[in-house]
Structures are given as structure tokens and as C-alpha cells.
Amino acid sequence: MHQFDPEHQEPLMARRSAQVTRRKPVDARPLRMHVLARSRPTPSLARVTLGGGEVADLVPMGFDQWFRLFLPTGGVESLRHVPEAVTTASYARFMLVPAQERPVIRNYTIRAHRETGVHGPGPEIDVDLVVHGSAAEGTAGPASTWAQTCVVGDEVAIIDEGTIYAGPEEATVLLAADEAGLPALAGILRDLPRVARGVAVVEVPHPDDCHDLGAPEGVEVRWVVRGTSAARPGTAALAELGRVPVPEDEEVYAWVAGESDLATAARRHWVRHGIPKKQISFCGYWKAGASH
């Protein structure tokens, strides 16, 4: 889910509505765990399964639960620089460590949590990471490279950050995401009440990225394919959102995550159509043109 802007300690954008309503974990200390498996469920996503170590101390909260992932791209010894908690002060100290000696940080969503693992004993989590570029050709960013090259046994650290989604159970939901927000949206659809109703718009780069998300029967999932690599991310999703009616006489909760311009434009669209700002959660996970 959430990709990390190295110049900020939060996702690129998690505005007031999300900050006020999000649920935080009781214990947010760093947890060490290891790579158990790696696969490619769709052309645009790599899935890494993590477990072992301290994974049993992670408390699953469902929906769009996200965490900070510390990748030892400078060697496993770089994980000694993982802070005990991410605060303004601790992040400033972290950034004083030479770049080649500290781990890379990115924010991601727990795509799935299993109390009984399929790759070994104990709990495990799946993490879906967007793949940009080729690790073999050196055109991928550090997180994309790791997602394509990590091997079983590699160690990482995470700090749980809880959830942003805060929709009332009775509200009609309007959801939107691109491929970066897709894992979070999938978690929301999985955990919505089975009687939920609404529409989810998902923009992806490739037709084969479309797959069953296990949405409630009353929530329509509309896939839109970006079409070409030159197309501006989020443009197709916004066009489709313009074709989704906003209910006028019922409670509506809206949630959007993905490229930062998609998030802000979707929020403006919903506000213009009468959804109160307090009923909108929006989060920019990444900025087009930035390294991943």
C-alpha cells in the first residue's frame, strides 16, 4: 500500500479527516521478521510474505492497516538504526545516519494476515508492492528492486501504524485507488460488512492486474486500465469517478488512496457533490515521477 517519501515521516498526504479518525496500534515498537516467500500475483504487483521473528506480536486490525517497512538495502546491519518509534525527533536522528548505512523506509499495507501460516508455523503476512522498472536492468527504485530480488530468510523490520479507513457501518461507500492503493482497497472490501453497498473504482496499468477482490455483493468494483505508460496516473480513475452518482439522501463515506493528485482531485470532486469533509479519508501514497 503505502510508499514512503524519504523526505517525510508520514505518507505523502494523510489529511485531517484520516488523521483524526484512524486507529492506532497499542504497541508500535519495531518488529523483526523474515521473508518466507515471493511471488508475482499480477503484472504490476510483487507479493512478499513475511513471518518468523516477532510477527506474532503484530496485532491485526484489518481494513487498510499499514506499517513502515525498513529494508536493509545497505546490509542487515543497517537495521540497527531502526528507531524505537517514529516521531519527528527520532526521524530527524535517523536521517543523520549516512544514507548508505541506514535502511530504506517505505509504507505498505498488510494485504493479508494469517494466524496459521502456509509457508511455515506461526502467523504470517502478505505485502503487495508495486513494481516499477526492472531490477535486472537497474531501472527500479530501491523498494521495487527489493520486491523483485529478496530471498527466503532476508530480514526486515516493521513498525505498525494502524488504519486510516473509518467508514460508518451503515454508510454507502465510495472508494478509489490506483495500483499503489489497491492492496489497501482490497483489505477494505474484504472487511466491509457483507451488506455494504457502494462503488469502488480501481485504476491499474495492465488488464491482467484486474482480479477478484472479494467485495460485498452490494459494492460494485469498476476496473479502469490506464492504457499506456505515458498516461498520467489517476486520470482514468478520476474520469470514472465522474460517472459514479453520489447519493443525496443517505450517509456516504468516501475513501481514496494512490497517486497524490488522484487523492486531492477525488476529494475535491466529492466535496463539490456534497459529501462532508469529515466523511472523506484521502491519502497520497506516492508522487508521479518519484523513485519507489
Mark whether 141 and 17 lie in a shared domain. Answer: yes
Mark whether 220 and 127 lie in a shared domain. Answer: no
Mark whether 141 and 182 lie in a shared domain. Answer: no
pTM over 0.95: no
Per-residue pLDDT of the chain (292 residues; tens, 9 = 90+): 444 343 333 444 444 344 446 789 988 999 999 999 999 999 999 999 999 999 999 999 999 999 999 999 878 999 999 999 989 999 999 999 999 999 999 999 999 999 998 998 899 999 999 998 888 888 888 999 999 999 999 999 999 999 999 999 999 999 999 999 999 999 999 999 999 999 999 999 999 999 999 999 999 999 999 977 668 899 999 999 999 999 999 999 999 999 999 999 999 999 999 999 999 999 998 888 664 4
Asked if the structure places residue 4 within a domain, the reply is no
Mark whether 103 and 214 lie in a shared domain. Answer: no
Output the pLDDT for position 137: 84
HSE-CB at 239 with a 13 A cutoff on CA atoms is: 11
Output the pLDDT for position 227: 77
Output the pLDDT for position 13: 43
Output the pLDDT for position 230: 64
Question: What are the backbone dihedrals phi and psi of residue 40, each rounded to the nearest 5 degrees, phi first?
Answer: -125, 90
Mark whether 103 and 149 lie in a shared domain. Answer: yes
Q: Hey, what long-range contacts does 145-148 have (CB within 8 A, 24 or more apart)?
A: 145/73, 146/71, 146/73, 146/104, 147/38, 147/46, 147/48, 148/46
Mark whether 30 and 138 lie in a shared domain. Answer: yes
Output the pLDDT for position 74: 79
- Identify the DSSP state of 191: H
* Number of domains the chain contains: 2
Pairing of strands 124-130, 13-14: unpaired
Mark whether 194 and 272 lie in a shared domain. Answer: yes
Mark whether 134 and 112 lie in a shared domain. Answer: yes
Q: Which of 134, 162, 190 is the last residue of a domain?
A: 162
Asked if the structure places residue 6 within a domain, the reply is no
Q: Please tell me the distance from the alpha carbon of residue 147 to that of residue 135, in angstroms, as a whole number.
A: 9
Output the pLDDT for position 103: 96
Contact 221, 202 (CB under 8 A): yes
HSE-CB at 200 with a 13 A cutoff on CA atoms is: 29
Mark whether 98 and 178 lie in a shared domain. Answer: no
Q: Please tell me the distance from the alpha carbon of residue 82 to that of residue 59, in angstroms, as a whole number.
A: 20
Closest CA to 45 of 117, 144, 169, 172: 144
CATH number at residue 270: 3.40.50.80
Q: Which of 138, 162, 186 is the last residue of a domain?
A: 162
Mark whether 32 and 137 lie in a shared domain. Answer: yes
CATH number at residue 133: 2.40.30.10
Mark whether 181 and 128 lie in a shared domain. Answer: no
Output the pLDDT for position 18: 44
Mark whether 221 and 113 lie in a shared domain. Answer: no
Query: What amino acid occupies position 201?
Result: V
Domain span at residue 261 reads 172-286
The rounded Cα 259 to chain-centroid distance in angstroms is 11
Asked if the structure places residue 118 within a domain, the reply is yes
